[in-house]
Amino acid sequence: MRLILLGPPGAGKGTQAQRLVHKHDLIQLSTGEMLRAAVAAQTPVGLQAKDIMASGSLVPDEIVIGIISDRLDQPDMKNGFILDGFPRTVPQAAALDELLKKKHIKLDAVIELRVNESALLDRVENRVAEMRARGEEVRIDDTPEVLSKRLASYRTLTEPLIHYYSERRKLLTVDGMMTIEHVTREINRILSAIGAVEPKASKAAAPARQAKAGARKTAKPAGKKAAKTARKAAKTAPKAAKAASRGAKKAKKATKKTAGKTAKKVAKKPAKKAVRKVTKKRAKR
């Protein structure tokens, strides 16, 4: 499974990415971490990025794409990946598409976590107020002012990606204002719907599936046996009918013959009696 997560700062991309990583055994690709790893490993691309990063300048897209290319070639990528925080611009997305095409890797989906910006600002304000009330230190980048600037940057640079991936039929939108659990369930539901993952049946359904399969196996031989018996019966039926007809004819003949003999016997008896009477009368005279 290969995914990209889109959404403004504070939308919950990092949380959902981690959940997908654990559930589907994926690798989360963070361009910042990949750049630091490449520099530490002193790869050719990492050495190029090292001086640029040291000067505080932004690393050019071609170097970032080169680092992603090297990472995709590593053996732990076989189950797939999640890109979080990249691409940030349409040119980066086009370069990534070209890279994936060369490597014959299919991007399954781009999941956009859509949120209400004013609600995000309210969340940050409440969180900051609670932290200060507890006496905790507030991070410099975790304030409504900083978030407002990051949201403005997102709208300018990254939001056009929504249209870019929508045109390519890769975009799937999820309401990021739901609870974390609801967002997770919805992401997994739509991934199952597009065939990116196979839906897992519940354990309770397993015995039912086994019973159904067993019934099919039992019914199949029984059905074949019944069909064979019916064909055999159909073949023998005409013979049986002929035999029955011949038997009926023989019985009829036998009945006629027996009836004739009986009639003759019955007829002979009175005749013999009559002869004997006449003979006796004549003898008396």
Residue 157 forms part of a structural domain: yes
Find the mean pLDDT for residues 260-282. Answer: 51
- In terms of pTM, does the model score above 0.85? no
121 and 196 housed in the same domain: yes
Q: Rounded CA gap, 97 and 59, in Å?
A: 19
Which amino acid makes up residue 124? V
For 95-119, the pLDDT digits (tens) are: 999 999 999 999 999 999 999 989 8
d(CA 45, CA 133): 46
235 is catalytic: no
Q: Please tell me the predicted confidence (pLDDT) of residue 102.
A: 95
Which candidate in 19, 36, 123, 150 is catalytic?
Answer: 150
Catalytic residue among 2, 13, 71, 170: 13
Check which CATH number belongs to the domain holding 120 and give it.
3.40.50.300
**Residue 52 lies inside a defined structural domain of this protein:** no
Give the whole-angstrom CA distance, residue 40 versus residue 131. Answer: 36
Reported residue count of the chain is 285
Whether residue 20 lies inside any domain: the answer is: yes
For the chain, the domain total comes to: 2
Where residue 285 falls among pLDDT bands split at 50, 70, 90? very low
Annotated catalytic residue, options 19, 50, 88, 114:
88
Find the mean pLDDT for residues 202-231: 53
Question: Which domain range does residue 270 map to?
Answer: 251-285
Residues 17 and 117 in one domain: yes
| pLDDT band (50, 70, 90) for residue 127 | confident
Give residue 126's pLDDT band: very low, low, confident or very high (50, 70, 90).
confident
On whether both 111 and 175 belong to a single domain, the answer is yes
Distance separating alpha carbons of residues 283 and 277, to the nearest angstrom: 10
Q: Note if 139 is an active site residue.
A: yes
Catalytic, 257? Answer no
From 103, 139, 149, 225, the catalytic residue: 139
pLDDT surpasses 60 at 61 = yes
Q: What is the b/e burial string over 255-274, where b = at least 16 CB atoms within 10 angstroms of the residue's CB? A: eeeeeeeeeeeeeeeeeeee
Same domain flag for 124 and 187: yes
The question of whether 127 is a catalytic residue gets the answer yes
Q: What is the mean pLDDT of residues 25-50?
A: 86
Chosen domain end from 201, 230, 259: 201
**For position 48, what pLDDT does the model report?**
84
Q: Catalytic site residue 150? A: yes
| Active-site residue, from 19, 114, 123, 127 | 127
Of 186, 175, 179, 157, nearest to 114 by C-alpha is 175
Same domain, 21 and 139: yes
